[in-house]
Amino acid sequence: MYESYWNLKDKPFENTPDPRFFFLSRQHNEILSRFMYVIEQRKQMAMFTGEYGAGKTLVNMMILSKYKEKLDYKIILIINPCLSLIDFLREIHYQLKNDPAIGMSKFEILNSLRQGLLENPHLRKIIIIDESQMIEDLNIFEELRLLSNITFEHQFMSSIILVGQPQLKDKAYQFPQLRQRLALVHHLNHLSEEETREYVDYRLRVAGAKFTIFDDETLSVIFEVTKGVPRLVNTLCDISLAIGKAQSRTTINKEIIDQVASEIIREINA
């Protein structure tokens, strides 16, 4: 562990979705605002995409954290959509009604889901499917569209939000009727160089940093190597802090970043 060496309270660059370390860049602020708009305005469907490692899952966790304690919201979050159609429907049913629907036919599950969505119409039901590009049974998209059609007194009884990597669009857009129901489509880009600098500084401050660990030149190299992908920034900085400790450094310089970057690249290409 290198935390004590660098006088840190926590490891600042873990790749786990910890809301404490959520850096609200301009882009992340925008996607959060759009996410909240879809939820609070009861929009029928929406799609949010982003490159690998851009922070989509952390955005999901922030949304879950914001709404899970509110009594008038019910959040259903599917984190592994690589399921058969019937198991996918069972997962929604389980989270909505606390019932895994074992032994029920597809017809019975859909009927029960419809009843569950219509129950307590003032309760806003949000269905978020993370990693939606992993959906293999394309019939799932059609069933989601049909579920999204359920209304009561001119209001949609659920908001269905697809979150995934860019190839999600190619899958979802095979269904023109689903595409027409997407009230909002938004793409999360990687961080700019300025945002990358702010991202590194922010996470270090949250972890309790009291002095400069990465200088300006080093931060520029971090951006050049990672292209602003938060997950890669985390990996590069985390290993660099460990190596810096092992070499008894007082700061992380360009030399260490170059060394770590070359090792990561060799590992990827091995």
Interval 112-145: pLDDT, tens? 999 999 999 999 999 999 999 999 999 999 999 9
- Let me know whether 38 and 113 are in one domain: yes
Q: Is residue 211 part of a domain?
A: yes
Residue 270 CB contacts under 8 Å (≥ 6 apart), including other chains: none
- Let me know whether 55 and 147 are in one domain: yes
- Let me know whether 78 and 197 are in one domain: no
Statement: residue 270 has pLDDT above 50: no
- Let me know whether 158 and 237 are in one domain: no
- Let me know whether 145 and 245 are in one domain: no
Domain-terminating residue out of 188, 211, 241: 188
> How many structural domains are present in the chain?
2
Tokens of 189: 């880009």
Statement: residue 71 has pLDDT above 80: yes
CATH number at residue 254: 1.10.8.60
pLDDT above 90: percentage of residues in the chain: 81
The per-residue pLDDT for 267 is 53
Domain-terminating residue out of 124, 155, 188: 188
Statement: residue 269 has pLDDT above 70: no
CATH number at residue 54: 3.40.50.300
Q: Are the CB atoms for 158 and 39 separated by under 8 Å?
A: no
- Let me know whether 137 and 222 are in one domain: no
- Let me know whether 179 and 202 are in one domain: no
Beta bridge partners of 77: 128
Domain-terminating residue out of 154, 169, 188: 188
**Alpha carbon distance 123, 74 (integer Å):** 7
Q: Which of 240, 260, 263 is nearest to 252 (CA)?
A: 240
Structural domain of 52: 26-188
- Let me know whether 133 and 237 are in one domain: no
Q: Is residue 209 part of a domain?
A: yes
- Let me know whether 135 and 202 are in one domain: no
Note the pTM of the prediction, 2 decimals. Answer: 0.88
Interval 159-196: pLDDT, tens? 999 999 999 999 999 999 999 999 999 999 999 999 99
